[in-house]
Amino acid sequence: MIKYREISGLIFLKKLLKELKQLLKIGIPIYGSQISYMGMGVTDTIVAGRASALDLSGLAIGNALSMPFYFLLGGCLFAVTPIVAQLFGAKKFEEIGQKVREILWVSIALGFIGFVLYRNLSFLIPYFDIEENIAQISDGYLKAMSFGFIANMLFTCLRCYSEGMGLTLPVFWVAFIGMLLNIPLDIIFVYGYFGVPPMGGVGCGIATSINIIIGLFVLILVILKKKEYKPTRLFSKFSGPNKDTTKEALKLGVPIGFGVFVELSMFSGAALILGSLGATVISAHTVAINIASVLFILPLSFGLAAATRIGNLVGEQELGKAKYASHIAILICLVGAILNTLIILSFKEALVSMYSEDLTVIAIAINLLLFAAIFQIPDGMQMGALGSLRGYKDTFAPMLMLIFTYWLIALPAGYYLTYYGFFGDPLGAAGIWIGMITGLTAFAALIIPRLNYVANKLITKSSSTLP
C-alpha cells in the first residue's frame, strides 16, 4: 500500500523538477550568451596583448574607465526584461510590441548620452598617473567604441525583450556568432590587413563597434523572421516616445543600472584600496577577482533567468508559483556557487598558474582564492534573490541595500582590515576580501527577506481582491 508520505514526496519531486526544467530552459542559453560576451573581451585582450604591452595597457585603462558608465546606462534597459515578462505572462502580446517600440526611444537617448560620454571620458585620464602613450591609446579606443554605443543600447533593449519572453536561445546564437566574428575583426584592425592600417589597441574598439552594429541587424532579422516573435507585432507600425512608458522604464531601470554601478565600484574600490601595497599584491588580487568573476557567470545567468521566470508567473497571476520559483532560483544559484567553491578549492594552484608565472604572485593569489571560495556562497544566493525581485519589478529597495552593504560596510571594513586589522595587525590583501565577503553576506541577509516580503505582500493583495 502506498503511504501518504510517499505520495507527497513524489508530488514534491515532480514540482521541483518541473520548475528546475523551466529555469534551466531559460538560464542555460543565458549562460552561453554571457560566456560569449566574456569571450569577446578575452579575444580583445589576447590580440591587443600580442600587438604590444602599450596597446594592452591602453585597452585595460579604456575598459576600466568605460565599463562602470556602460552598465550605469545599459543597466537602465534591463528593466525591459521584467516589463516584457509580466506582459508575456498575461498574454498581452501586442502591448509588448507597443512598450518595446516606445522604450527603443529611451535606448536611443541613452545611446546618445553614452556616445558623447565615451568621446570625452579621456578627461579623467590626467587624474591618474598614466603614461602619455597609454593615454593616447585609451582615448582612441574610447572614441572608437563610441560609434557603436547607440547600436549597443538598441541591442540591449531587444535582447531583454527577447529574454523577457523566454526566448533566450536566439540571443545566445547572435552572441556566439558575434564572439566568432570578433576574432577576425580584431586581427584585421589591430594588426592591419586587407588595406586597413594597423591600429593596435584602438583597432579593438573599431572591431567591437562594427560587431555590435552587425549583431543589432542580425537580431532584428531574427525577430522579423522567427514566428515566436510575431504575436507582439514589434515592427508592424511606428510608435513615438511615450511619457508614461519612459517613466516606467526609468523608474525600474535606473535603480538596476545604479545598482550594477555600485557593485562594480566595490570591485574598483577594492583595487584602489590595495594600490599602495605594490604591484605584486595588486596583480595577485586581480588574478583572484578575475577567477571569481569568471565562475560567477553561472549563478549570474540563473539570476537573470529568474527575472524572466518570475515575471512570467506574476503576469499569469500565478503568485504562489512565482514565490516557489524564486526559492528554486536561489537554490540553483546556491548549488552553482557551491560547485564554484569546490572548483576553486580543488584547482586553485592550476587556476592561478594560468594567469601568472611569478611565484610570489601565485602564492598570494592562492591564499586569496580561499577567500574567493567563501565569497561565492553569499554572492550566488544574493544573485538568485536579486534576479527574482527584478521579476517582481522591485528594484529601488535592492539598490538602497546595495549602497548600504557595499559602500558603507564592505569598502570601509575592507580598508580598515587591510591597513589596521583586528588588533592593530594589518591583514593586507586578505582584509579587503574579508570586507567584501562581509558586505555580500549582509546584502544576502537583507535581500532574501525582502524577496519573501514582496512575494507574500503580492499574494495577500491578490487574495484580498478576489470576490
- Condensed to tens digits (0 to 9), the pLDDT of residues 324-377 reads 999 999 999 999 999 999 999 999 888 888 776 778 878 888 898 999 899 889
168 vs 66, residue with greater confidence: 168
Does the pLDDT value for residue 8 go beyond 70? no
Q: What is the arithmetic mean of pLDDT over 444-450?
A: 94
Residue 429: predicted pLDDT: 82
Residue 129: predicted pLDDT: 61
Among 93-102, 130-139, 271-280, the range with the most confident prediction by mean pLDDT is 93-102
Report angle CA 301, 253, 308 to the nearest 5 degrees: 35
Burial profile 399-414: b = 16 or more Cβ within 10 angstroms, e = fewer? bebbebbbeebbbebb
Does the pLDDT value for residue 152 go beyond 50? yes
CB 365 within 8 A of CB 284: yes
Q: What percent of the chain has pLDDT over 90?
A: 49
Write out the three cell numbers for 279.
604591484
CB 208 within 8 A of CB 148: yes
Digit-coded pLDDT (tens) for 93-116: 999 999 999 999 999 999 999 999
> CA-to-CA distance for 367 and 237, rounded, in angstroms?
58
393 φ, ψ to 5°?
A: 65, 35
Digit-coded pLDDT (tens) for 377-389: 998 889 999 999 9
Helix (H) or strand (E) holding 409, with range, is: none
Q: What percent of the chain has pLDDT over 70?
A: 95
> CA-to-CA distance for 191 and 197, rounded, in angstroms?
8
Burial of residue 261 (CB within 10 Å: 0-12, 13-18, 19+) is buried
Instruction: Name the band, by pLDDT with cuts 50, 70 and 90, for residue 1.
Output: very low
Neighbours of 243 (CB within 10 A): 8
> CA-to-CA distance for 112 and 245, rounded, in angstroms?
19
Is the Cα torsion angle 380, 259, 30, 312 positive or negative in sign?
Answer: positive
> CA-to-CA distance for 109 and 131, rounded, in angstroms?
34
Residue 20: predicted pLDDT: 83
Residue 9: predicted pLDDT: 60
Residue with cell 542555460: 28
Does the pLDDT value for residue 84 go beyond 90? yes
Instruction: Name the band, by pLDDT with cuts 50, 70 and 90, for residue 65.
Output: confident
Q: What is the arithmetic mean of pLDDT over 190-217?
A: 89
- DSSP tag of 300: H
Report angle CA 416, 422, 428 to the nearest 5 degrees: 55
Largest distance between two CA atoms of the chain? 82
Digit-coded pLDDT (tens) for 182-201: 999 989 998 888 888 888 88
Separation of CA 86 from chain center: 21
Q: What is the arithmetic mean of pLDDT over 151-165?
A: 94
Nearby residues of 5 by Cβ (< 8 Å), 6 or more positions away: none
Q: Is the pTM of this model over 0.75?
A: yes
Task: Give domain limits for the chain.
Answer: 27-241, 251-462
401 vs 55, residue with greater confidence: 401
Residue with cell 536561445: 169
- DSSP tag of 196: P
> CA-to-CA distance for 432 and 455, rounded, in angstroms?
34
> CA-to-CA distance for 191 and 57, rounded, in angstroms?
16
